[in-house]
């Protein structure tokens, strides 16, 4: 690691990259970018995109040179100043306030039974919708929403509220096109979340229940930070498990030989982790340089706004063989889908439990012959956040 920039090469500009093409399918774009350099200035998104694995990993582990507290942050505008856009020690203080709510012990003791109950509810909803139903709309999205609603302690909200809030808030976080309609929807959801929290906080102070809002409300965290962190959790805490369920099912149904292996050997963890590498639900997050520095032999001036493109890093051929393919048997190398260092995803164990231990094995057991609808292919979209949007399925 070095901070000298005198011998470093300049970052090239990629004026040809456009946001609609990134949304439709970013991976050919990432391949083209990686072939010439691991970092590019992309005017369309007003930042340098980091598309190499080693460069991304170096940046995410070094908060002294690369700050999460980005100026003009879209996340701050959409959700408020959460711990995700803070560096230590401020970040660490708020992260510790989450306590044990999202840790494996609490998940096993308190939340796994909730996930199992919610699975049964939404598996029946999918079954009632009949063959040809959209697995995302009928199962993955409401299942993730109800799990999150319960963990958060928002008893005064519905799963539909959580879905609307999550989608509009993350749309704001990824609004690099500066669409005013996207901002308006995010602002409405932000107000609704504030109102729901204001109603529940006194209830949970009187009757604490181990939910996240109950724990954070008793932690002494300032209200502004509490609101921002709850909105951040609503955004990532819903879309990541939703997309992990849908995308893993889609990947396995597209690869029947691998599905057979998973079923025979109960390799749901392998299927899940390879899905996150192949299609990271959170595809890009920002950083900003605190001083003149260099990464991968490239000079980066102080104040440069960076986009750490996890979706590209996880398909870097320097690290992963045949990276464009979904392959549960590939040699296990750490993907970056949950981030790293001090900002490693706080909800990683919730996602792994609700998806790997509960949803995936039960779906394939309860819906024999689960298969894609040949007349209605799945749709996939996004680059800041990417996942399966619709997944029509049939079963026997």
Distance of CA 295 to the CA centre of its chain: 25
**pLDDT value of position 341:** 73
3-state helix, strand, coil in the chain (%, to 5): 55, 10, 35
Phi and psi, residue 378, nearest 5°? -60, 150
* Residue 28 located in a structural domain: no
Mean of pLDDT values over 5-29: 90
Contact yes or no for 174/23 (Cβ under 8 A): no
Strands 393-394 and 371-372: antiparallel
**pLDDT value of position 21:** 97
Token pair in block for residue 341: 């260092």
Number of compact structural domains in the chain: 1
**pLDDT value of position 2:** 40
What angle, rounded to 10 degrees, do the helices at 256-265 and 223-254 form? 110
Mean of pLDDT values over 4-10: 66
Token pair in block for residue 288: 């900003």
Alpha-carbon span 8 to 38, nearest angstrom: 13
* Residue 306 located in a structural domain: no
Strands 371-372 and 66-67: unpaired
**Which band of pLDDT confidence, cut at 50, 70 and 90, is reported for residue 3?**
very low
* Residue 159 located in a structural domain: yes
Mean of pLDDT values over 189-215: 96
Domain that holds residue 378: 79-278+319-394
Alpha-carbon span 142 to 121, nearest angstrom: 10
Task: Supply the CATH number for residue 337's domain.
Answer: 1.10.630.10
Alpha-carbon span 84 to 88, nearest angstrom: 11
**Which band of pLDDT confidence, cut at 50, 70 and 90, is reported for residue 7?**
low
* Residue 42 located in a structural domain: no
Alpha-carbon span 289 to 29, nearest angstrom: 24
* Residue 69 located in a structural domain: no
Tens digit of each residue's pLDDT (9 = 90 or more) over 33-85: 999 999 999 999 999 999 999 999 999 999 999 999 999 999 999 999 999 99
Tens digit of each residue's pLDDT (9 = 90 or more) over 177-194: 999 999 999 999 999 999
**Which band of pLDDT confidence, cut at 50, 70 and 90, is reported for residue 106?**
confident
* Residue 22 located in a structural domain: no
* Residue 47 located in a structural domain: no
**pLDDT value of position 343:** 74
Compute the chain's Rg from CA coordinates. Answer: 21
* Residue 32 located in a structural domain: no
Token pair in block for residue 164: 């609307």
| Run of H or E residues at 59 | helix 53-60
pTM of the model: 0.94
Least-confidence region, from 4-8, 168-172, 178-182: 4-8
């Amino acid at each position: 690691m070095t901070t000298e920039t005198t011998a470093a090469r300049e970052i090239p500009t990629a004026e040809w990259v456009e946001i609609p093409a990134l949304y439709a399918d970013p991976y050919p774009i990432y391949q083209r970018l990686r072939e010439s350099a691991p970092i590019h200035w992309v005017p369309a998104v007003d930042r340098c995109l980091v598309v190499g694995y080693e460069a991304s990993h170096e940046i995410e582990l070094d908060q002294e040179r690369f700050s999460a507290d980005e100026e003009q942050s879209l996340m701050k505008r959409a959700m408020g100043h959460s711990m995700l856009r803070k560096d230590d020690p401020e970040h660490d203080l708020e992260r510790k306030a989450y306590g044990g709510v999202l840790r494996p012990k609490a998940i096993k003791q308190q939340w796994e039974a909730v996930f199992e109950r919610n699975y049964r509810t939404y598996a029946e909803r999918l079954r009632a919708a009949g063959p040809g139903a959209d697995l995302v709309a009928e199962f993955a999205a409401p299942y993730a929403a109800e799990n999150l609603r319960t963990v958060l302690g928002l008893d005064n909200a519905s799963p539909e509220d959580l879905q609307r809030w999550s989608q509009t808030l993350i749309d704001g976080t990824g609004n690099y096109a500066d669409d005013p309609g996207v901002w308006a929807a995010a602002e409405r959801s932000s107000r609704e979340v504030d109102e729901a929290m204001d109603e529940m906080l006194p209830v949970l102070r009187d009757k604490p229940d181990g939910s996240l809002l109950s724990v954070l409300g008793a932690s002494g965290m300032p209200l502004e930070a509490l609101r921002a962190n709850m909105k951040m959790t609503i955004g990532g805490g819903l879309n990541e498990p939703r997309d992990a369920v849908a995308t893993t099912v889609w990947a396995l149904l597209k690869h029947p030989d691998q599905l057979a292996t998973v079923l025979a050997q109960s390799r749901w963890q392998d299927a899940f982790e390879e899905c996150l590498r192949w299609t990271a639900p959170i595809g890009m997050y920002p950083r900003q340089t605190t001083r003149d520095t260099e990464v991968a032999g490239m000079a980066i001036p102080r104040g440069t706004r960076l986009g750490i493109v996890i979706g590209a890093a996880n398909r870097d051929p320097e690290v992963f063989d045949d990276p464009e393919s979904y392959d549960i048997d590939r040699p296990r190398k750490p993907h970056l889908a949950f981030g790293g260092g001090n900002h490693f995803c706080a909800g990683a164990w919730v996602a792994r439990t609700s998806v790997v231990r509960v949803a995936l094995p039960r779906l394939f057991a309860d819906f024999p012959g689960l298969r894609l609808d040949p007349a209605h292919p799945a749709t996939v979209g996004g680059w800041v956040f990417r996942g399966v949007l619709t997944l029509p399925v049939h079963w026997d």
